[in-house]
Amino acid sequence: MQIEPAFSACPACDLLFRRRPLPHGMAASCPRCGTTLGVGTDDPVSRPLALALASLILFFVVSLEPLLVLRLGDREVPATLFGAVLTLVDAKMYPLAFLVFWTSLLAPLTTLLGLILCLWPLRQGGTSRLGPGFFRIALALLPWALVGIYFLSVLLALFKLKDLAEIHLGAAMVAFAALVVTMTALRGSLHPEPLWERLELLNDLEHPDGLDNLEHPKRP
Partner 1 sequence: MIAPTPADRPNPGVAATPPTSGPPGPAPGSEALPPVPSPRTALRLGLLVCPLCRAVLRSPTGDTNPGRCPRCQSSLHPRKVASLERTWALILTALILYIPANLLPIMTVTRFGRSETSTILNGIQTLITMGLWPLAAIVFFASVVVPLLKLSVLAGLAFAAGRHSTWRPEERARLYRLVESVGHWSMVDVFLVAILAAVVDLGAIAAIEPEAGATYFGAVVVVTLFAAHSFDPRLTWDPLGAEA
Q: Which of residues 48-67 bind partner 1 (CB under 8 A)?
A: 67
Among 184, 192, 205, 213, binds partner 1 (CB under 8 A): 192
Candidate segments 45-53, 95-103, 107-115, 116-124, binder of partner 1 by CB under 8 A: 95-103
CA dist 180 and 185 (Å) reads: 9
Residue 65, SS3 per DSSP: coil
CA dist 103 and 105 (Å) reads: 6
68 forms part of the interface with partner 1 (CB under 8 A): yes
- Is the backbone of residue 34 left (phi > 0), alpha (psi -120 to 50) or beta? left
Contact 161, 116 (CB under 8 A): no
- The minimum distance between CB 208 and partner 1, in angstroms, equals 17
164 forms part of the interface with partner 1 (CB under 8 A): yes
34 forms part of the interface with partner 1 (CB under 8 A): yes
Residues 69-88 that bind partner 1 (CB under 8 A): 69-70, 72, 75, 77-80, 83-88
Contacts 24+ apart (CB under 8 A), 34-42: 35/10, 35/11, 37/8, 37/10, 37/11, 38/191, 38/193, 38/194, 39/191, 41/189, 41/191, 41/194
7 forms part of the interface with partner 1 (CB under 8 A): yes
The smaller minimum CB distance to partner 1, of residues 21 and 208, is found at 21
89 forms part of the interface with partner 1 (CB under 8 A): no
214 forms part of the interface with partner 1 (CB under 8 A): no
- The minimum distance between CB 56 and partner 1, in angstroms, equals 21
- The minimum distance between CB 107 and partner 1, in angstroms, equals 11
DSSP string across 133-164: HHHHHHHHHGGG--HHHHHHHHHHHHHHTTTT
Residues 121-160 that bind partner 1 (CB under 8 A): 132-133, 135-136, 139-140, 143, 146, 149-150, 152-154, 156-157, 159-160
